[in-house]
A and B are shown apart, each in its own frame.
Chain A
Amino acid sequence: MVAPSATLSVLNRADGSASYQCPSTGSNILGSVNAPVELPGRRDALKPEDATIEVFVKPGTAPAGVGERYVEGILKTLLGRVILGREKGYPRRGVVITLAIIGGESVGRGDPYLILLPALLHTALLALLSASVPLSMTFSATVLAVDESGQILREPSAEDAATAQSVHVLAFSSKGHLLLNESQGSFDFDTWDKVRQRASAICHGTQLVSADGDVAMAEDVDGRPLEGTLRETVEDQVYRDYNWKINAA
């Protein structure tokens, strides 16, 4: 399994940005975050004590339609729970997240956005981190498909997903909560339970607590856990930014 790759702060004028490529699903997303921003008008519609989160998903080839509205809603609900919108400077302001799908297969009308959802979620998270928007935790997400023989496929391609019995997107927080589940197809609960376990292993890895109390990320069939990959991306950026400080110390 080829790990996804990401870069932080790719755009100059946005407060935070990230680009994200996932080779197995072929998705390539560019995300930007501006926060906090004054939202023009509609002041009465803003929550007085919380930030208003706006998510825009721009498909690469067509104007955004109902499918995008739907996936924007999913992202908004999830991110709304993760962003600390009550921190200083955020109430009554907006957190505007724009995600452009710049590569990979386009999503047709009525097609589920499920395959792209983890990539969109990760891009949004990295862009938020790059903009230093206060978050209560990080998360990682994956998409799994179950085929007719009950085999679980990780990060299926669009064709695989079309032939699969069911497709599941799961997101886990860095504290181990199940943050999001989107399942479609036809399946029973036991299948879902297996999918959940596999997804948890993909996102967190199998955690081994070693003698000195460190949590070691174990390598398993799914390669490095996604959480570790995301963390490394952010750490790399931090090390690059604070090179001068680290070298001096």
Chain B
Amino acid sequence: MASSAPPPALTLPPSQFARLQPHAYLLAHLSPPASSNQPSLRANGRQPAQFRPTSANTGSLTHTNGSAVVRVGDTTAVCGVRAELLPTSDIASWSVSHASSGAHKRATTTKNDADADADESHIQDLNLLVPNLSLSTGCAPGFVPGAPPSALAQSLSHQILGLLHSTRLVRAEDLRVWYQVPSFGGDGDMDVDAEEDEGRKKKNDGKEIKAFWVLYIDIMIISLAGNAFDAAWAAVLAALRDTRLPRAWWDADNEMVVCSEAVAEATRLSLRGLPIASSFCVFEADAAAGWRAVIVPDAEEEKKIEEDQRRGMQRRWILADPDGYEEGLSQERVCLVVDREMGKTVIVKMEKNGGWAVDGRELKQLVDTAAERWESLKLILEQC
């Protein structure tokens, strides 16, 4: 370092300022001085309610039953669905649980469902859907390849599993392999539990479940720049839409399930609805105002904040589809999963945690934003 030259005035390129003072950097973008006549934009150039450009591609993995790559901005998720057969003879409690399943059959089905007679509890009871999300791909500097699944990865896996169950996206009927018991010779074959089978046959008109398809849904986040859940869920959705299960039947002579090799005979899953996730985060202007200060507004101050907001002095911004930089600067998160049926928005999941800025009014707006996102993502998923 030469000391002879006069030190230049301390100027920083924006990229360094963004690293040194991330909070002030984003705040300056969102609330530009009134004189500058600049619109309030996020540091990444998006409007607060704007999502990142999203693209989806299905069927890229040829060795899976269904696959999809979804890219949301710089976050990329790859999802592969692999189907394996689970013969009912391998399920230890099958004969017991199957006989009793009729009792709580209607437990989870709703009245407006087309296939009201389907016994959806099979999916959950037998764990027919096994999602697993992996972040250990070097997707972001914090995630070392080959490390055990981080708490975030585990929690995302659980969220996806929970959502698969609560939306009942996959129909249990699609995963069953039936066998039509021939009407003749039934008594000859059955010896030990003939009585039980008799009852079962009566209920199902001589049809018997011989096996289930188990769907292993593996999600790899290969690039993480915030909002992993939206991308992962969109990838799961696209991959399940792409999934084809080969025709399978029970070969009574060999006593095993046989699959057809013909691609034309494979069937797609018929999914229930199209739930789409939208995540938001809340950026607060005064979060880092004081080094130690934690200011908790009470109800009166909340009103004042609202008043200020009307006058154009915004102190909180709800940012849609946050990127990694924004996620690091906000504590409060909102995650909405919505579906639309006949023009009506149905909320499937609504989570909000980590702060007090979002209440009923804000959530109502976010539901509308999420519904708009549903429309745009629906087009993207239908085109791929």
Q: Could you list which residues of chain A lie within 8 angstroms of chain B, going by C-beta atoms?
A: 49, 65-67, 69-70, 72-74, 77-78, 80-81, 84, 86-87, 109-112, 136-137, 148, 162-163, 165, 173, 175-189, 192-193, 196
Contacts and interface: CB of A to CB of B under 8 A. Distances in A.
Interface of B is mostly: mixed
B356 A80 contact: no
Contacts of A81: 331-332, 354-356
B275 to A, nearest CB: 9
B298 A175 contact: yes
Residue among B108, B151, B333 facing the most chain A CB atoms (10 A cut-off): B151
B351 A112 contact: no
B344 interface: yes
Contacts of B127: 109-110
Contact of A70 (B107, B159, B333): B159
Contacts of B162: 70, 110, 112, 184
Residue among A173, A184, A188 facing the most chain B CB atoms (10 A cut-off): A184
A77 B354 contact: yes
Contacts of A87: 292
A77 B331 contact: yes
Interface residues of B, number: 48
B315 interface: no
A162 B109 CA distance: 10
A66 B355 contact: no
12 contacts: A70-B154, A70-B155, A72-B155, A110-B161, A178-B358, A181-B350, A181-B351, A185-B166, A187-B347, A188-B345, A188-B346, A189-B367
Interface of A is mostly: mixed
A73 B151 contact: yes
A152 B124 CA distance: 25
Nearest to A83: B294
A84 to B, nearest CB: 6
A137 B353 CA distance: 16
Contacts of A177: 302, 356, 359
Contacts of A180: 352-353
B347 to A, nearest CB: 6
Nearest to B292: A86
B166 A184 contact: yes
A84 B167 CA distance: 38
Nearest to B293: A86
Given A175-B296, A177-B356, A178-B358, A188 B111 contact: no
